[in-house]
């Protein structure tokens, strides 16, 4: 329970820090708890065993309501506790936390969604990239959907509408969903990267997200997946697949087909981005995409009719 409380405090302070908060008012009771954690951190640093109860001297030395130290300083002390209790495993691993994790905090799903939308546009690691535009394009649909669709990044039309898949590719996706007996409000649709990748003198032209943008976007997407808790995920296009599955950057879409794929314990189906259907008339590829969708429906526990199964069978 103590570790859980520490983690909640750390998550909350990180969220406040990312909003630009540097100082916090703390009452006597909260100050006492924080002092105990700090003393315990020092004990662990000196190699002493954890104490069942830490005696804190001089608690009344500071008046109630006084501003505390900078939030980042407090975070650093509390993180020392976590690292020591974990046996310094993160310190021994040079790759640990190479990519910052987006942690909006919140004690309920409703609060987490609210903080997600409020904090993401101000998330420092994303802003520091300097390669993304400023308008967020958040996910859309049922936040309790059994089936989740993930694209790569917003384009010009998505950014203008502030919704994913707003252009011609979106119309193609709507048609696919209709054939599946679904609509946008019955699934959850989102993008790997929530901001349109920027270009010099950009107008309607777009570019795919780069590896750094994808890595940070995947951290944000993880939060969405935790909140929606879908039974299956469809990655629309190879870029979405690479980011979602943390795969190598040069893997083609064909490398993901025919394999059991998972994000945690959630099965993932990789298929073409709907924009691909705007560029090809190859019926073989269209049939593969449809078979991918049927597989996703089955994994999500959605009913599949005989008519849907026979869409690409010869008539007669």
Q: What is the pLDDT of residue 313?
A: 72
Residue pair 121/194 in contact by the 8 Å Cβ criterion:
no
Q: How buried is residue 4: exposed, middle or buried, by Cβ count under 10 Å (0-12/13-18/19+)?
A: exposed
Instruction: Say yes or no to pLDDT of 134 above 70.
Output: yes
Residue pair 266/230 in contact by the 8 Å Cβ criterion:
yes
Instruction: Say yes or no to pLDDT of 166 above 70.
Output: yes
Instruction: Say yes or no to pLDDT of 85 above 60.
Output: no
Nearest to 197 by CA among 150, 250, 166, 154: 154
- Which of these ranges, 90-94, 117-121, 210-214, has the smallest mean pLDDT? 90-94
């Amino acid at each position: 329970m103590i570790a859980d409380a520490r983690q909640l405090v750390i998550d909350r302070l990180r969220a406040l820090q990312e909003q630009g908060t540097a100082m916090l008012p703390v009452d006597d009771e909260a100050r006492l708890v924080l002092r105990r954690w700090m003393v315990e951190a020092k004990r662990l640093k000196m190699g002493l065993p954890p104490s069942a109860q830490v005696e804190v001297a001089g608690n009344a030395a500071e008046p109630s309501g006084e501003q505390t130290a900078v939030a980042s300083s407090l975070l650093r002390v509390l993180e020392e506790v976590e690292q020591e209790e974990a046996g310094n495993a993160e310190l021994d691993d040079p790759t640990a936390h190479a990519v910052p994790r987006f942690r909006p905090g919140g004690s309920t799903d409703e609060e987490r969604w609210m903080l997600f939308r409020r904090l993401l546009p101000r998330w420092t690691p994303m802003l520091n990239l300097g390669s993304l535009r400023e308008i967020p394009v958040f996910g859309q649909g049922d936040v309790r959907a059994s089936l989740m669709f993930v694209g790569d990044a917003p384009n010009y039309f998505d950014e203008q509408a502030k919704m994913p898949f707003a252009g011609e590719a979106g119309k193609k996706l709507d048609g696919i969903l209709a054939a599946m007996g679904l609509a946008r409000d019955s699934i959850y649709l989102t993008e790997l990267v929530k901001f349109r990748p920027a270009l010099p003198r950009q107008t309607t032209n777009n570019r795919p997200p780069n590896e750094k943008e994808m890595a940070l976007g995947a951290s944000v997407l993880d939060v969405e997946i935790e909140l929606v808790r879908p039974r299956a995920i469809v990655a629309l296009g190879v870029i979405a697949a690479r980011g979602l599955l943390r795969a190598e950057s040069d893997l083609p879409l064909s490398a993901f087909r025919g394999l059991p794929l998972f994000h945690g314990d959630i099965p993932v189906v990789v298929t073409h981005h709907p924009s691909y259907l705007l560029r090809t008339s190859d019926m073989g590829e269209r049939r593969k995409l449809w078979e991918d969708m049927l597989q996703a429906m089955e994994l999500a526990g959605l009913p599949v009719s005989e008519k849907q199964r026979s869409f690409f069978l010869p008539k007669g």
